[in-house]
């Protein structure tokens, strides 16, 4: 599923690195407080951690995962721009708002523009692609160890967990949940790192964090802006790792 900042291109590689560094028997579970479109989470749930927690402050995306896990998601057979606009005005939490707001919008930005308009003569059906993507994700999130929560990362008080964080990038605007306090985030990661194994996806970090893994990734911000960036995994220099 398209989603701004999603890690589907490199999610498998990230998961393999995380498991190698912090295997299931080292911790009491796995937590993603910014799980988004499950670009990394869908790979991490394959490993036998005691619990797999996906959390996000965006209410529609979490409603989608909850319904998909319970096999309660009901999707329209077809999607039009008119229907897309109607769903946009629906009250949250609403799973369909996540499906079309992220999955059928340009660049995966929440309701940034009906992407089917840009299919041109390619013959692509983006709604079919989204439904196929959801079908694949559904098959891997059925384990009883998996739970989803609509919570801010600040609401969590983790202990002895493997935690992967994919927060809004500092230079990025336009996230559906509004502004993000980056200073508070890094300070929280310092505190969490005393009792947890923390890995953070970003492109830059404060001086008391360091990069332990990197990979180039293609990114799209809008119809005209496409570029390649280097994704890093950062850890706190004075944490458990």
Mean pLDDT, consecutive 10-residue stretches, the chain (241 aa), reads: 69 97 98 96 98 98 98 96 97 98 90 87 89 95 97 98 94 61 98 98 97 82 64 97 88
- Find all residues with CB under 8 Å of 183, minimum gap 6, and list them: none
Please tell me the predicted confidence (pLDDT) of residue 226: 60
Please tell me the predicted confidence (pLDDT) of residue 179: 86
Element (H, E) at 219: strand 209-220
* Angle, helix 95-103 to helix 126-138, in steps of 10 degrees: 120
Residues in the chain: 241
- Using one digit for the tens of pLDDT, what is the confidence trace for 154-190? 999 999 999 999 999 886 554 455 689 999 999 999 9
State whether the Cα torsion 167-170-175-181 is positive or negative.
positive
Residue bearing tokens 């937590």: 31
Please tell me the predicted confidence (pLDDT) of residue 172: 56
Residue bearing tokens 């989470």: 41
Please tell me the predicted confidence (pLDDT) of residue 169: 87
Integer Cα distance of 42 and 161 in angstroms: 18
Residue 137 and residue 42 in contact, taking contact as beta carbons nearer than 8 Å? yes
Integer Cα distance of 77 and 94 in angstroms: 17
DSSP string, 64-91: HHHHHHTT-----S---HHHHHHHHTSP
Instruction: Note the pTM of the prediction, 2 decimals.
Output: 0.91
């Amino acid at each position: 599923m398209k989603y701004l900042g999603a890690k589907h291109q490199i999610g498998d590689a990230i998961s393999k690195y995380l498991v190698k560094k912090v295997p299931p028997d080292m911790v009491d579970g796995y937590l993603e407080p910014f799980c988004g479109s499950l670009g990394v989470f869908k790979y991490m749930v394959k490993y036998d951690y005691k619990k797999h927690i996906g959390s996000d402050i965006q209410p529609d995306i979490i409603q989608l995962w909850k319904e998909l896990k319970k096999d309660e998601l009901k999707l329209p057979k077809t999607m039009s721009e008119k229907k897309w606009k109607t769903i946009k005005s629906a009250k949250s939490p609403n799973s369909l708002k996540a499906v079309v707001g992220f999955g059928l919008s340009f660049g995966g930005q929440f309701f940034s523009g009906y992407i089917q308009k840009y299919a041109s003569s390619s013959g692509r059906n983006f709604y079919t692609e989204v439904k196929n993507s959801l079908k694949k994700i559904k098959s891997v999130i059925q384990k009883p160890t998996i739970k989803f929560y609509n919570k801010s990362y600040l609401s969590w008080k983790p202990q002895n967990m493997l935690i992967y964080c994919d927060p809004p990038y500092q230079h990025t605007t336009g996230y559906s949940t509004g502004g993000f306090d980056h200073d508070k985030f890094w300070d929280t990661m310092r505190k969490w790192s005393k009792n947890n194994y923390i890995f953070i996806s970003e492109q830059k970090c404060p001086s008391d964090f360091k990069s332990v893994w990197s990979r180039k990734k293609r990114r799209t911000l809008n119809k005209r802006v496409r570029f390649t960036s280097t994704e890093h995994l950062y850890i706190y220099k004075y944490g458990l790792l």
